[in-house]
């Protein structure tokens, strides 16, 4: 008997999870956070509701991220989170189990890959496919990946930066570094602590990064006020911080990301390297939105870099396209499981 199986594409990220439904687009974009009771037995909130609780919970509640560096750190909680997102995306009247495609970092191991597939199946998927993020990011950015030309993708998310050269529908060479949005936020927290003796939370650091952050110094620096706890007096205090101080704070993290780009360029075959010079480097992912990051990569590598349209949604859009054309992309799909 034939019955309709809905399709869902999931960009399962360290910071945020996006769900894409073919013909509808991105229907859900929520933080990858789950709030649990201390004993871990009761889930109190998932997504946006849980993120609000980070750093504000009483002793008996933990708000925490089950994904670390782009892979599953806590299997059971990830399953709960996936079940919630699948249910929310499909609506409560849906009776069919969906086919699900999930993104994984380029450097994923077979064990980590299996964990993602198992979690999706236990969360209610009929079939689960996993595809490496750079491939999905390239598809979502509208790059014709099946052509015999080299395309370079730099996907900077929350937990990992994936750099890959793609040609003929597959990854020729790639590397993955555990340095991305979350680590950039931590660098801002550490800098404010060192320089101003002020303790701030990750959420505040993320807001500062979005408001005034930049990869290169600005002639007309932006400033914003940062509120936190004074480390000497222990009392609440606020201070002003400028863009060029943030540039200083992010030096090491950005050096690591540029290093990953250089590593891949060094390993790229000459024919593909000439394609990349012609076409430039395509940047995707939420953290690629940091001001002047493409310009920094151009200055350090000599290769033009530009952000894809809708950089934040490229991986999610890629899952939708790949789901609609499974036969075309079967070479890129790593594993499939299901009933």
Q: Which of 70-79, 258-267, 296-305 has the lowest mean pLDDT?
A: 70-79
Mean pLDDT on 1-5: 52
Q: How many CB atoms lie within 10 A of CB 137?
A: 33
DSSP string, 60-87: TEEEE-SEETTEES-HHHHHHHHHHHHH
SS percent in the chain: helix, strand, coil, step 5: 40, 30, 30
Spatial CB neighbours of 150, under 8 Å, sequence gap ≥ 6? 165, 166, 167, 172, 268, 269, 271, 272, 273, 274, 275, 276, 279
What percent of the chain lies above the pLDDT cut of 90? 59
Residue 338 reports pLDDT greater than 70: no
Instruction: Write down all domains in the chain, each with its CATH number in brackets.
Output: 7-135+315-338 (3.30.420.40), 144-307 (3.30.420.40)
Residue 58 reports pLDDT greater than 90: no
C-alpha to C-alpha distances, 290 to 30, 54, 183, 224, 287, nearest whole angstrom: 20, 23, 13, 16, 6
How confident is residue 314, by pLDDT bands cut at 50, 70 and 90? very high
Q: Which of 284, 215, 219, 283 is nearest to 250 (CA)?
A: 215
* C-beta of residue 257 within 8 angstroms of C-beta of residue 183: no
Up-side HSE of residue 182: CA atoms within 13 Å toward CB? 19
- 24-54: per-residue pLDDT in tens? 889 999 999 898 888 777 888 898 888 888 7
Element (H, E) at 162: strand 161-167
* C-beta of residue 328 within 8 angstroms of C-beta of residue 292: no
Tell me what pLDDT residue 59 has: 82
Tell me what pLDDT residue 260 has: 96
pTM: 0.89
Residue 337 reports pLDDT greater than 60: no
Tell me what pLDDT residue 203 has: 87
Q: What is the DSSP letter of 144?
A: -
Q: What average pLDDT is seen over the chain? A: 90
Mean pLDDT on 266-271: 94
């Amino acid at each position: 008997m034939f019955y309709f199986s809905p399709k869902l594409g999931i960009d399962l990220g360290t910071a945020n999870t996006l769900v894409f439904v073919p013909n509808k687009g991105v229907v859900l974009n929520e933080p990858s956070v789950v709030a649990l009771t201390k004993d871990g037995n009761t889930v109190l909130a998932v997504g946006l509701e849980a993120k609000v609780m980070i750093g504000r919970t009483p002793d008996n509640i933990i708000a925490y991220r089950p994904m670390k560096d782009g892979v599953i750190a806590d299997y059971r909680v990830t399953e709960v989170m996936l079940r919630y997102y699948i249910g929310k995306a499909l609506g409560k009247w849906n009776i069919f189990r969906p086919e699900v495609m999930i993104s994984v970092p380029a450097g994923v191991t077979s064990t980590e890959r299996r964990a993602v597939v198992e979690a999706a199946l236990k969360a209610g998927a009929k079939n689960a496919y996993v595809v490496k993020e750079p491939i999905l990011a390239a598809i979502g950015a509208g790059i014709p990946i099946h052509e015999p030309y080299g395309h370079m993708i730099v996907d900077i998310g929350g937990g990992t930066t994936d750099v890959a050269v793609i040609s003929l529908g597959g990854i020729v060479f790639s590397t993955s570094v555990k340095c991305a949005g979350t680590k950039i936020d931590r660098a801002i927290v550490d800098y404010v602590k060192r320089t101003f003796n002020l303790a701030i939370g990750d959420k505040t650091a993320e807001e500062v990064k979005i408001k005034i952050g930049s990869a290169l110094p600005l002639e007309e620096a932006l400033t914003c006020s940062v509120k936190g706890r004074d480390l000497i007096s222990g009392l609440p205090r606020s201070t002003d911080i400028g863009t060029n101080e943030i540039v200083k704070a992010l030096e090491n993290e950005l050096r690591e990301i540029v290093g990953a780009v250089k590593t891949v360029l060094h390993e790229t075959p000459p024919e593909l390297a000439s394609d990349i010079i012609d076409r430039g480097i395509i940047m995707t992912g939420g953290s690629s939105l940091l001001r002047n990051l493409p310009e920094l990569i151009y200055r350090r590598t000599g290769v033009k870099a530009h952000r894809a349209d809708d950089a934040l949604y490229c991986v999610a859009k890629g899952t939708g396209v790949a789901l609609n054309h499974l036969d075309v992309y079967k070479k890129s799909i790593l594993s499939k499981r299901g009933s």
